[in-house]
Chains A and B, each alone.
Chain A
Amino acid sequence: MTIHTKIDEKLNDKVLYQNLKGFATAYKASKENAYKGLDFEALRTKVHDLKDRDLNKVMQQFNQFKENVEKHGCKVFQAKTGDDACRYIADVMKSHGAKYMVKSKSMTSEEIQLNQYLEKEGLSPIETDLGEWILQIANEHPSHMVMPAIHKTRQQVAKIFSDYTGEKVDPDDIKAMVEIARRFLREYYFKAGVGMTGANVAVASTGTIGLVTNEGNARLSSTVPPVHIVLVGYEKLCDDFGQALDIVRVLPKSATGQIITSYTTWIKGRTPSHKNADGIKETHYVFLDNGRLAFLEHPKFKEALKCIRCGSCANICPAYEMVGGHVYGDRYIGSIGLILTALYQGDAAAKDILKMCIGCRACSFNCPSGIDLQTLISDLKLVVGKKYGINPVKKKVFKSVVAKPKRMKSLLSVGANFQFPLTTTNKLNQEKIIKTVPMLPKEMDFRKFPALASKTFSKRFFKDGYDQFSSQRKVFFYPGCAIEYFYPEMGLAMVKLLQKSGIQVDIPKVAACCGIPAIASGDPDNARTMIFNTLDKLNDAKDYEALLVLCPTCGGAIKHEFLDFTKADPDRYKKASQLGQMVTPVGQFLEDQGIQFKVIGNKTVTYHTPCHDSRSLSYSAEAFLSSVLGEQFIPLTDSNVCCGFGGTYSLDFSSISNGILNKKIENIEATKAEILVTDCPGCVMQINGGLMHQKKAVKVMHLTEFIENHLVVVE
């Protein structure tokens, strides 16, 4: 099945849609509650720092752990590969004549596909986590790290249970279903010769593992059978209980929005066990490498080994929310799943799924271990793009058009002149749009496209003499492609506003692309050309108060990606770094000037926070708008959740993009606001296009246009 077939299958799954949507909303609220009164940034920095270590340090922790448990007669096995681990575990079971092994939830065992291995050997692993058990008897795989069966309804579970037990199961009675699980699994705990658990943390100072669960199944699995096997990745090691508790403090909050789970259990080695002849538990620790240790030495990918498996990066991912974990990830799920698939299973396994990331950066800002997941995904996209190639049409467009500013300009101006027969005026808002795009596949037809501007921003800027205004106070403005070719008015509105305040605005002589489209598509070579083009055309930082952007994605690129791509070129790197520090979203600049505005008219307004405003430039205009507008401002639910644009993503994965957009539109409609303000031309294109397609009358405006038309400066 191709990735697109898989995606479509999931998008048509109404149960999945409802469950994930419901969960995403509930999760955000409970997580916020769980962290109330705590400094999330400080907590996650702590976890990030304690997990920041090299191979040497991890091996020290391992040796200490090993010594602490071996001296009491526990066994420690170092598994190089998944198969090594499986074989060892099978051997332990066989040596005890154990047919059954009760397991508590372990992502690591999913990683090495332990169940399949044991079953082939004629052994019976029994999943005891309710969600995992449901999937085991249904012969399926988890679709979420913390809520494995989130894609199932109660009716589906009832059917699975009645097929399995032969009993009648009321399809609406969840409590009764839980009772069935309790009854069946209880029997297995006592039948099993071996119990297996994972470990959320492994404390080196004593050789203790920590397990975080709600059901209590890990307690039973580690208590009732005479043998306990712990399967754990090296990255779970930490120095002492201080560190372990720092992790336990954030894990449940980020996982399910609970302050703490029902059980946090600390287990060390050889506890009393009456089922053994000597009355003491036999304990085995299987430490899994499977590629981890190599990446501890990698300058970037070592970050992925800081993961504490909370699942938060799936919970907040708009693309995951559309397709679920059977598509978004492989054995590991969500944003970290895309990365670990590449690291553990190899880039061939990851090359398609990596593309599903829209780049909204929500994961990077939510990870309780402080992993910058989106950047890792972006790096991996470049790696697989180079190795396996990208869409050839895209590559050609990047190489021969976008990376050549002059050619792009002339081609698009030809386009602007000849699009006339294709354009029309949208009746609801009088905007110029493309009537119908010829040969556009049906799934891409979910929004209207804006027409190309008849004159580019730069052309109007120079022609209308905006370059003649001079002042001591100067800012440099980088328009980016969207303002240049589609939305010159947004740029001009800003220029007029600033010049009225006595500020001179300079722009590049030739417009060039910031490179993000190529980066997001995994095309590093063309991205580099675009970045060099842009950088060379930006004036030096020293003459200006700020480098202003109206597109936060371009701004984020100058601030972050430009540095990455100029590392081997000291002059350009220096320039990128100096300019990067000056990048300022226009709203921020206006607020900093302390200009006082007041509203004219009584239109109600809501605001969508662009991903890259809040997450690349640390800015949101929400506070500004709400203070100027007072009661006329209506906050938007999930304002900072992605609108689904992502540049060419909205064409490559149009069905996901459309799904994300629909949720945004639902939220916008719920505000009943007449105007939606945002401050990214990409978001305007997406949201306005969707609203027009659905014939909704909400007016979409860039912040600069909104200020020009609806606010006045208070003298």
Chain B
Amino acid sequence: MKVMKLLEQFLEKSTLVGNENRLVTTVDFQNDFKREDYEYIHLPGLNIFLDKQAGEAGIRRALIEADYAIAETGSVVIDSCNENLRLASCLAEKLDVVFPLSKLVDNMHDVADFLEERTSESGGYVAFITGASRTADIERVLTVGVHGPKEMTVIILNDL
């Protein structure tokens, strides 16, 4: 099955950059996420929101829904034009991203139209995120969390 192949490829690439990856059903997810201490939630697909404007102190944890995910690179694609969403995804210590399996596409060019559509009006901000904020600027030693999230978890809803 094509989608399983894509999933395998996505998981391989996403693991490679140090992400934790979880495959869950929507029901399980809806039960589980409540137990976590998110400070910011943006899940339009499930109609769950918790708004907050992250400031200089940052926030501990954010939970965000991705519009797409890309198997080729293990990336999630997030329209983050919404300023609070953008601040949360930039400033959270730990970033959790959710997407329905049906939104997993093969390669970057599959989201070209989406990028075109989301950035044709006055303002637009779409991010491909592939792992935590990282640097290798000191002696090429890979270190995470230089400006943004130090950890990232990807949660894939396998029944949607």
| A215 and B140 contacting across the interface, CB-CB below 8 Å | no
Q: Does B37 contact A (CB under 8 A)?
A: no
Q: CB of B25 within 8 A of chain A?
A: no
> Once the chains bind, are B119 and A208 in contact (CB under 8 Å)?
yes
Is A26 a contact partner of B140 (Cβ separation < 8 A)?
A: yes
The interface on chain B, measured as residues whose beta carbon lies within 8 A of the other chain's beta carbons, has a size of 54
Q: Which residues of the partner chain A approach B109 to less than 8 Å between Cβ atoms?
A: 242, 245
Q: Chain A residues near B132 (CB, 8 Å)? A: 262
Does B16 sit within 8 A of A, measured CB to CB? yes
Distance in Å from the Cβ of B144 to the closest Cβ of chain A?
A: 8
A215–B83 contact, CB under 8 A?
A: no
- With the chains together, A195 CA to B11 CA distance in Å? 35
| A147 is an interface residue with CB less than 8 A from chain B | yes
Cβ–Cβ contact A215 & B147, under 8 A: yes
- Pair A274/B120 contact, Cβ less than 8 Å: no
Asked whether, in the complex, the Cβ of B135 is within 8 Å of the Cβ of A215, the reply is yes
Q: Within 8 Å of chain A (Cβ to Cβ): is B74? A: yes
Instruction: Please state if B137 and A241 are interface contacts (CB–CB under 8 Å).
Output: no
Please tell me if B47 contacts chain A, counting CB pairs below 8 Å.
no
Is there contact, CB below 8 Å, between A174 and B128? no
Judge if B105 is at the interface, Cβ distance under 8 Å. no
Does A130 sit at the interface, judged by CB under 8 A? Answer: yes
Alpha-carbon distance A68/B116, docked complex (angstroms):
12
Give a binary string over B65-103; 1 marks a CB under 8 Å from any A CB, 0 the rest: 000000011110000011100110011000000000000
Interface of chain A: mostly helix, strand, loop or mixed: mixed
Residues of B contacting A224 in the complex (Cβ-Cβ under 8 angstroms):
87
Report B-chain residues with C-beta under 8 Å of the C-beta of A500. Answer: none
Most A CB contacts (10 A, CB to CB) among B16, B91, B146 go to B146
Q: Does A575 contact B (CB under 8 A)?
A: no
Bound form: Cα–Cα A170–B73 in Å: 36
Contact yes or no, A272 B123, CB < 8 A: yes
- A-facing mask of B109-126, CB < 8 A → 1, else 0? 100110110111111111
Per the bound structure, the CA–CA distance linking A323 and B30 in Å amounts to: 57
A215: which B residues are within 8 A, CB to CB?
Answer: 133-135, 146-148
Q: Please report which residues of chain A, range 180-196, place their CB below 8 angstroms from some CB of chain B when the two chains form the complex.
A: 181-182, 185-187, 189-190
C-alpha spacing A264/B82, complex, angstroms: 17
| Distance in Å: Cβ of B143 to nearest Cβ of chain A | 5
Contact partners of A616 in chain B: CB under 8 A:
none
Contact between A206 and B120 (Cβ–Cβ < 8 Å)? yes
Q: Give bound CA distance, A190 to B53, whole Å.
A: 13
Q: Mark B141-156, 1 if CB is under 8 A from A, else 0.
A: 1010111110000000
Q: Which B residues touch A186, using CB under 8 A?
A: 56, 58, 147
| Chain B residues in 8 Å Cβ range of A68 | 120
Q: How far is the CB of B65 from chain A (nearest CB, A)?
A: 18
Q: Is the CB of A266 within 8 A of B127?
A: yes
Indicate if the CB atoms of A208 and B147 lie closer than 8 Å.
no
Which residues 269-285 of A sit at the B interface, judged by CB distance below 8 A? 269-274, 280-281
In the assembly, what is the distance between CA of A174 and CA of B58, in Å? 22
Alpha-carbon separation in the docked complex, A185 to B121 (Å)? 32
Q: B108 at the A/B interface (Cβ < 8 Å)?
A: yes
Residues of A within 8 A of B81 (CB): 271-272
Interface presence of A175 (CB below 8 A): yes
With a CB–CB cut-off of 8 A, which chain A residues contact B133? 214-216, 262-263
Mask: chain A, 221-251; 1 = CB below 8 Å from B; 0 = not: 0011000000000000000111001001100
Rounded to whole angstroms, the CA-CA distance of A72 and B91 in the bound complex is 28
Q: Does A349 contact B (CB under 8 A)?
A: no
Rounded to whole angstroms, the CA-CA distance of A134 and B137 in the bound complex is 9
Query: Which of A152-160, A330-338, A668-676 sits within the interface?
Result: A152-160
- Please indicate the chain B residues that have their CB under 8 angstroms from the CB of A23 in the complex: 140
Report how far A252 CA is from B148 CA in the complex, Å: 19
Query: How far does the alpha carbon of A377 sit from the alpha carbon of B149 in the complex, in Å?
Result: 43
Q: Which of A189, A205, A245, A268 has the most CB of B within 10 A?
A: A268
Contact B138 A178 (CB under 8 A): yes
**Within the assembled complex, what's the spacing in Å between the Cα atoms of A23 and B141?**
11
Whether A263 touches B127, Cβ cut-off 8 Å, given contacts A214-B133, A216-B146, A245-B108, is yes
Q: What separation, in Å, do the CA atoms of A281 and B83 have in the docked complex?
A: 10
* A272/B82 in contact, CB under 8 A: yes
B123/A72 in contact, CB under 8 A: yes
Cβ A178 vs Cβ B143 within 8 A: yes
The one of B13, B75, B83, B137 that contacts A273, using a Cβ cutoff of 8 Å: B83
Residue of A nearest to B137 (CB): A131
- Report the bound CA distance from A245 to B106 in whole Å: 14
Q: 1/0 contact trace for A96-111 toward B, CB 8 Å?
A: 0000000000000000
Judged by a CB distance under 8 angstroms, whether A148 is at the interface is yes
Interface residues of A in 63-93 (CB under 8 A from B): 68, 72-73
Minimal beta-carbon separation of A213 from chain B (angstroms): 9
Let me know if B123 and A262 touch, CB within 8 A: no
Chain A min CB distance to B96 (Å): 16
Instruction: Tell me whether B135 and A190 are in contact (CB under 8 A).
Output: no
Q: Is there contact, CB below 8 Å, between A271 and B127?
A: no
Q: What separation, in Å, do the CA atoms of A270 and B83 have in the docked complex?
A: 11
For residue A248, which residue of chain B has the nearest CB?
Answer: B108
Known A178-B146, A215-B135, A262-B131; judge A267-B140 contact (CB<8 A). no
B129 part of interface (Cβ distance < 8 Å): yes
| A249–B133 CA distance with the chains assembled, in angstroms | 19
Which residues of A lie under 8 Å from residue B148 when comparing CB positions? 215-216, 219-220
Q: Which residue of A lies closest to B17 (CB)?
A: A262
Return the CB mask of A308-334 against B: 1 if under 8 Å, else 0.
Answer: 000000000000000000000000000
Which residue of chain A lies nearest to B73 when distances are taken between CB atoms in the complex?
Answer: A260
Q: Contacts A150-B140, A186-B56, A259-B16 hold; do A208 and B130 have CB atoms under 8 A apart?
A: no
Chain B residues within an 8 Å CB radius of A129: 137
Cβ of A129 to closest chain B Cβ, rounded Å: 7
In the complex the two chains form, what is the Cα distance from A223 to B123 in whole Å? 12
Give chain B nearest CB distance to A329 CB in angstroms.
19
Are the C-beta atoms of A182 and B53 separated by less than 8 Å?
no
Q: Are A264 and B124 in contact (CB under 8 A)?
A: no
Residues A268 and B119 in contact, CB atoms below 8 Å apart: yes
Q: Is A655's CB within 8 Å of the partner chain B?
A: no
**A178 pairs with B135, CB closer than 8 A:** yes
Residues A214 and B134 in contact, CB atoms below 8 Å apart:
yes
Q: Smallest Cβ distance from B125 to chain A, in angstroms?
A: 5
Judging by beta carbons under 8 Å apart, are A267 and B116 in contact?
A: no
- The interface residues of chain B lying within 8 Å CB-to-CB of A632 are none
* A177: interface (CB < 8 Å): yes
A190 and B130 contact, CB distance less than 8 A? no
A-B contact pairs, 8 of them (CB 8 A): A177-B138, A185-B147, A245-B112, A249-B108, A260-B75, A262-B131, A269-B124, A271-B81
Q: Besides the contacts A208-B119, A223-B90, A266-B127, what 12 more A-B pairs have beta carbons closer than 8 Å?
A: A130-B137, A147-B140, A175-B143, A181-B146, A215-B148, A216-B146, A216-B147, A224-B87, A245-B108, A266-B126, A272-B82, A272-B123
